């Protein structure tokens, strides 16, 4: 049953990633591209989970599952949220930090020794297989668990915090947009709740939490998108991808108006008048 749920989660995440990818290609929205990448990682992690649950865990599958699902996924989703709500410049800087963080996490996850044995069924716990710190080149460095803790804490706080802020902002002016952000909040919290269950020995619900989470994320995205179509450009920029988000509104340029005609009785073109001939007296 858990294997089937993990496969379904991978399929939904893949569909979601493809839809976001099309949005990015058609509109070049930076946040859509980052979210597409994050959902792609979500799909790959869910598929790794399905393989481990269905055919048994090995080191390669577990390392891939831990890296994509526990370290790289949520911070990348947070980078997309920052780009959407705060702006592309902040989002790109956040994304650059996430890339560096994920590369370091990948190095540590691939190099960390795995102690103990994999369970015959269920989801392995990182605390039982990875040490909190590891030795690399004679230097003690944080282990994969430290990277997973930082990624989960920071990424979840950013995604949930920005979604709640948008929901509060549009609670009266745009109910659909507010409701969509609340669903996104629930979708981000569901896998975190499943990870907590796994940590306390109740790993049977983890695959279900992934499926529920990605379904809520997709539903929130669709609901918020329908609400943004009626939102103003400023509201769309703060709440989600819309046709006018982050666009600069150009002020109308001043039009040169000729000065009004002068009331001076002296003609302005006096310099063009011909000189009058002088009368001579004989």
Domain boundaries defined on the chain: 2-239
CA 129 to chain centre: 30
139: β partners: 136
User: What is residue 259's predicted lDDT score, i.e. its pLDDT?
Assistant: 55
User: What is residue 196's predicted lDDT score, i.e. its pLDDT?
Assistant: 64
Highest mean pLDDT among 101-115, 120-134, 173-187, 239-253: 101-115
Return the CATH fold of 2-239: Rhopdopsin 7-helix transmembrane proteins (1.20.1070)
> Per residue in 152-204, pLDDT tens?
999 999 999 999 998 998 888 888 888 989 999 999 898 877 766 565 555 56
Q: Report whether pLDDT(251) > 90.
A: no
User: What is residue 99's predicted lDDT score, i.e. its pLDDT?
Assistant: 96
Q: Report whether pLDDT(240) > 60.
A: no
Give pTM, 2 decimals. 0.77
Average pLDDT of the residues in 22-46: 93
Residue 63, C-beta contacts closer than 8 angstroms, at least 6 positions apart: 109, 110, 114
Average pLDDT of the residues in 48-63: 93
Average pLDDT of the residues in 241-260: 42
Average pLDDT of the residues in 194-215: 75
Three-state DSSP at 118 gives coil
> Per residue in 70-106, pLDDT tens?
899 999 999 999 998 889 999 999 999 999 999 999 9
Q: CA separation (Å) from 180 to 38, 173, 175, 216, 241? A: 19, 13, 8, 9, 12
User: What is residue 205's predicted lDDT score, i.e. its pLDDT?
Assistant: 77
CA 92 to chain centre: 11
End-to-end CA distance of the chain: 130
Distance CA(81)–CA(76), nearest Å, equals 9
User: What is residue 277's predicted lDDT score, i.e. its pLDDT?
Assistant: 53
């Amino acid at each position: 049953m858990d294997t089937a749920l993990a496969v379904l989660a991978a399929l939904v995440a893949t569909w979601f990633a493809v839809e976001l990818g099309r949005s990015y290609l058609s509109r070049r929205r930076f946040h859509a591209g980052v979210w597409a990448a994050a959902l792609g990682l979500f799909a790959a992690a869910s598929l790794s989970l399905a393989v481990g649950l269905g055919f048994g865990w090995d080191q390669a599958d577990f390392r891939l599952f831990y890296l994509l699902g526990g370290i790289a996924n949520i911070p990348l989703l947070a980078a997309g949220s920052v780009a959407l709500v705060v702006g592309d410049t902040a989002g790109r800087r956040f994304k650059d930090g996430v890339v560096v963080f994920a590369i370091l996490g990948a190095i540590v996850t691939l190099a960390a020794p795995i102690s103990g044995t994999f369970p015959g069924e269920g989801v392995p716990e990182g605390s039982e297989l990875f040490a909190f710190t590891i030795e690399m080149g004679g230097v003690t460095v944080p282990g994969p668990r430290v990277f997973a803790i930082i990624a989960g804490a920071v990424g979840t706080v950013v995604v949930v915090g920005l979604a709640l802020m948008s929901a509060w902002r549009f609670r009266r002016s745009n109910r659909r947009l507010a409701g969509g952000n609340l669903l996104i909040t629930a979708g981000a919290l569901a896998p975190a709740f499943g990870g907590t269950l796994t940590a306390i020995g109740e790993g049977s619900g983890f695959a279900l939490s992934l499926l529920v989470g990605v379904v809520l994320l997709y539903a929130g995205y669709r609901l918020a998108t329908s609400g943004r179509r009626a939102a103003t450009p400023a509201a769309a920029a703060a709440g989600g991808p819309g046709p006018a988000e982050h666009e600069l509104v150009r002020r109308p340029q001043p039009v040169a108006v000729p000065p009004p005609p002068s009331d001076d009785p002296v003609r302005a073109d006096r310099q063009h008048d011909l000189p009058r001939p002088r009368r001579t007296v004989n």
